[in-house]
Each structure stands twice: as C-alpha cells, then as structure tokens.
Amino acid sequence: MNWEVASDPDFSRIVSKGSVKTGPERDHTVKVVAGRLQPGTPYWYRFTFGRAVSAVGRTKTAPAAGAQVERLRFGVVSCANYQAGYFSSYRHLAQRGDLDAVLHLGDYLYEYAPGEYQARDVVVRPHDPAVEMTTLSHYRRRHAQYKTDPNMQALHSAAPFIVTWDDHEAANDAWSGGAENHTEGAEGLWAARRAAANQAYAEWMPVRYQPGGPLYRRLDFGSLASLSMLDLRSYRSEQAANGLDPAVDSPDRTITGDAQMDWLLGNLTSGGPQWKLVGNPVMIAPVRVPSTLSLAEVAGVQKLMGGTTIDGVPYNVDQWDGYEADRSRVIRHLRDQGVKDTVFLTGDIHSGWACDIPADPLTYPTTGDSVAAELVCTSVTSDNLDDIMNTPPRTSSLAVEAAIRTANPHVKYLDFDSHATPSWTSRPQGFGWTGTSLPTGRPGPRQPHCPPRSGSVPAQAKPFRQPEAPCEPGPPPVPAPCRVRKCRRRPFRGGRNRVGQPDDESRHRPDAHLRPCGGRLPAGRDHAGTDPAARRPAGGGHQLPCREVAAGDGDDPESRHDDDRRAARQVRSPRELGLRSRRRGSEGHGPRNRPPFSNAA
C-alpha cells in the first residue's frame, strides 16, 4: 500500500510519500510515521492500493517548541458506546474545521455483549461480535466495527487524535491485576485478556504505543501549553471496597504507579509552557454525594458515577477519590511549588463538570484556595442520568445537581443530562470552552431539551459564581443534518472570579434545540492580590465562537429514531467534509470495510 502527504488538499505539493505492508499479523491495519513535515502546519494525506484511492484525511502538526502560539483548540470526547446511540458528537466536531486536535480521554469502545450495560439495556445498534470481548479476535472485531461508523471516520479524517484508554477498552473497572468485569479462569487469565486488548488497541488506534511500553506521554504546543496524557489503568492498585475502607488512604496504594507519578510531577513545574494540561481519564476533584437524595436518585447517581453505596451515599472509589495518597501528593506538589495554570481535562462519568481542585477540601468553603481546575466532558452516547432514570432531561436531574453542588462547593458547574461536544480553547489570556448538546437517536420519552451552560473556572483564584440562567424547553432532539448559522454574543466581563454570563439571546429559542455557550478561564498568576481588571484582555474580555443549530419538527419519537438511523448512514458531501474517495469502491480496504487512514498524535 502506498501513502502520500501533501501541503494542499489537491495533492499538487506532495511533501512525503512511501509504501507500507500489512497482513493478518496486525489485522490488516496500517500506520505510518511521516517525515519531512513542518511544525504548526496542516497537511492532507491518502492511501492507494492498486487503482483504489482512499478518502483524504487532514491533520495538523504541533507548533515548534517555544513558538509563540495565540490559540489552541481541542475537541474533547469520551465514553462512546456503539450500542447506546449514534455518534452525533463526532459528526459535529468533524464539521467545525477549526480544531488543532481531538482529545479522546478513554472508553473509545465498550466490551459488553448486546444489552449488558447500564439501565435501560437499550440497543440502538448491536455490538459485533455479539459476545463480551475476551480474546484478541473479539477485540479486533469490535475495533473494526466502531471504525465503520461514518461519523467516527469523518472525525478521524478531520483532525489529529490524541488518545488514552480508560477501563472499557479492556474491561470495566480494570486495574493492574484484574477487573470488576472479569472472572479469572472462566474468562481466561487477566494477563492474557489485557494483552489482547492492548494489542488490538495498538493496531487500530492512532497512537505510537507499543504493547509492553508506556502509553502515558507528554506533548508540547509551543510556549502556550503542555499536555500530559495519563494511563490510570495499567499500574493502579485494586479498588477499595468502598469509601469507608481504610485502603482508600493507604500510602501503599496507587492509581498512577511510582514511575508515572514522578513523570507527572516533573511535567507540572513553574517553567515551560504556560498552561499545564493533564489528559486525565477519571475525575480527580473530590466528590461527596449527599444522603438527602431519594432512593431512586441515589441509585441513578450510583450507576452513573460507578460508585459503591455507603449508608445510601454513592462514593466512587474507582476515581482519584479512592486513591487519596496519590491525589494528596499531586495537590501538595502544585501548592508547594507554586505551579500556576494547571487544568485537568477529564472524561469517564458521562456528565459535564467544572471544578476547583481544593488545596484543602475542609477549609475551601471559607478560603476558596485551589491549586488547579478540572473540566469534565460529557459522554458521546453512554448513559447519563436521564437515560438511567428514564426521565426527560433537565427535570429530576436538576435537584440532584443542586444537592451535589451544595455538598461540594468546589463544583461550579454540573450537567447530568447532556450528550455534548465540548471544545476547549487555550489562549495566553485565559482558557475557555463551549459545549453543544446533541441527540443520539435513542428511543425514549418526549423530552424538552436544554443546552449545557458553560462558563469559566479560575485555575489559581477564588471560585466563580455559576449563573442559574433559566432554560426554556424547546423541540425534542432530531437527527436530521443541522443548519448552522452564527449568532452574536457579548464579550465576557468581570474579573478572574466570574463565569461568563450568557446574555438573553443565549437562552433556548423555539426554533433551535441546540445552543452552545462559551466562557473563559483566566490565566492565574498568583492566589490573591492581583487586580482582576489586569487579567482581562483589551476590551473587557475575548469573545469565543458561538453557533446555534436549527432543528426540524421531529414530532414523532419513532420517526426521529428512524431518521437518525438514516442520518448515521449518510455520507456527507465532499464540500462539507472533503473525505470521499476519488474512485468508486474505495471506501475501505481489507476485511470488514475498514477505513484506511487515521490521524495520530
């Protein structure tokens, strides 16, 4: 198979080319590390095999070390369950055209057989093979199935991917010696199953990982940001039984492993690029779920957050909450070394969060001292709270969100219902994000649909106030291709401690069911004493892009479901995505119609 990389989409200026062989020993997949590329430059690439020509992919190289960078924009995703719906989030991000990269923070695929995962056992699209993944053949077939999704193909060919795994790439709640969803003996040896999962991941995913080597790595983007991508499954100790287990506080237990922890702390220093970003598969901010919730709400949150139950209160010992010694070590390092502008970018729990990382959770309500910020993205399709409880979004979940925020004052924003497409933008002046809620094609109750509200959380300052803007019910989600038009937004005003307040136009309109909002996270220079006005860019704040997506009528839920199934099969036009092959019959090569290209970072 031959490959070409060009500096233009017409391939009139080819800068690198070569040939590569593949076969059954690597499941007929191909990876290429192209040379002679310039930093901070977009490129287009394609593969040819005989007379067949692949679709054209676009990528972009990172800025050179130390280069001045004015803006860095990531799409951020996690938790894409093929069975639970359609990957509308991928389609939306692929259509943007302004992303420097896509961060996938784990749960790229799921191991379960049809109907085995979470509350409703809704199977929109059955998994292949129709069994739980335990062998190399299973993992390869499941990766191949996910890669046939047209929205996933579109996103992979629109921007480079930066990936890490969480647990479901192998098995639920995986740790170094096993997993909750693995029965030793009956399902083979864990070491063999983990090795099979890792091999399929290395073959099918856009990453330079080699089985047996480390997945964690650092990428720098000029002088603006460094990104440390973590592996929180390969070296961790077994999860504690629950939050009352003394093992939670044991210094002998780890979520990172010693070598990765030393590497991470070495990356989080006061020198180097301004923003210290951490690709963090599971949540690091402490979370306590109050017992004031109803039994149904407790059960729903327990399923959503993967927690155990202590006197009716879920507590997630699978995330950093269950490894207090490691979390305390990171917090002490950031505080003692005076490291500024650290942001943890997180997935895993199928909900959107914006949090301070308290220097001390006990004194935080009075001092507001934080060492970092954490932004958690929603799931692509995996069940969120309204899916689990089978209720319309922005109804019963509002009380749950309010109760959790009351019990956790460092949690500044919480959305348990949306399947959104967040994009996070880093600038020298601040760190902002936007999020657009999208339908997944799941059957369910007719739902008033409200967008997630976005804002900004200061990395090194006192907490912002989250505005409680009302959200008016709009038409239910529809799967038809969306029309996109720009809308106007006021710049964000105020100092470092204030979230960007959407104006009245940012409320839900009757003719638009999707509405993103933007915010900015000011760059922190110290914990106190800095004039907030000095942190604002000229003009009182910078304005992030905002788009609204108009919806169709979509009155009948079943017709919406059928429409979304058709929309998922639809291939976008070359003008929209630039991804179609130049000859018929070249949509893919090898068994199972695999896409022949993939972006890597």
Q: Which helix (H) or strand (E) holds 375?
A: strand 370-376
Tokens for 418, please give them: 């949306």
Interior CA angle at 321 toward 318 and 323, to 5°?
80
The yes-or-no verdict on residue 458 having pLDDT over 50 is no
CA-to-CA dists, residue 261 to 46, 226, 267, 276, angstroms? 39, 16, 10, 15
Q: What stretches of 251-293 adopt beta strand conformation (E)?
A: 275-280
Averaged pLDDT, 112-138? 87
pLDDT tens-place string over residues 295-329: 666 666 666 666 654 443 446 899 999 999 999 99
CB 49 within 8 A of CB 381: no
CATH topology of domain 67-78+216-579: Purple Acid Phosphatase; chain A, domain 2 (3.60.21)
Local confidence band at 109 (pLDDT 50, 70, 90 cut-offs): very high
Please name the amino acid found at residue 54: S
d(CA 127, CA 117): 12
The distance of Cα 151 from the centroid of its chain, to the nearest Å, equals 16
User: pTM of the predicted model, to two decimals?
Assistant: 0.76
313-322, 328-337, 411-420, 481-490, range with greatest mean pLDDT = 328-337
Least confident of 38-52, 135-149, 344-358, 485-499: 485-499
Q: What angle do CA 210, 212, 215 make, to 5 degrees?
A: 60
Stronger pLDDT, 7 or 393, i.e. the higher one: 7
Is 390 in contact with 464 (CB distance < 8 Å)?
no
Distance CA 432, CA 541 (A): 11
pLDDT in tens, 555-588: 333 333 343 443 333 333 333 333 333 333 333 3
- List, in sequence order, every residue forming a beta bridge with 519; answer none if it has no partner: 433
371: tokens are 């060492």
- pLDDT, tens only, 184-215: 999 999 999 999 999 999 999 999 999 999 99
Please tell me the predicted confidence (pLDDT) of residue 385: 82
Q: Minimum mean pLDDT among 1-15, 55-69, 95-109, 480-494: which range?
A: 480-494
Residue with the two structure tokens 């959305």: 415
Q: Which two tokens stand for residue 285?
A: 């901010």
User: Chain-wide mean pLDDT for the chain?
Assistant: 77
Task: Specify whether domain 1-55+581-601 bears CATH 3.20.20.140.
Answer: no
Strand partners, 76: 103
State how far the Cα of 323 lies from the Cα of 438, in Å rounded to an integer.
34
Where do the domains of the chain lie?
1-55+581-601, 67-78+216-579
Least confident of 75-84, 302-311, 536-545: 536-545
Counting residues of the chain whose pLDDT is more than 90, the rounded percentage is 57
Q: What is the mean pLDDT of residues 351-372?
A: 93
**Per-residue pLDDT tens for 218-269?**
999 999 999 999 999 999 999 999 888 899 999 999 999 999 999 999 999 9
CB atoms within 10 A of CB 68: 10
How is residue 2 annotated by DSSP?
E
CA distance 440 to 513: 14
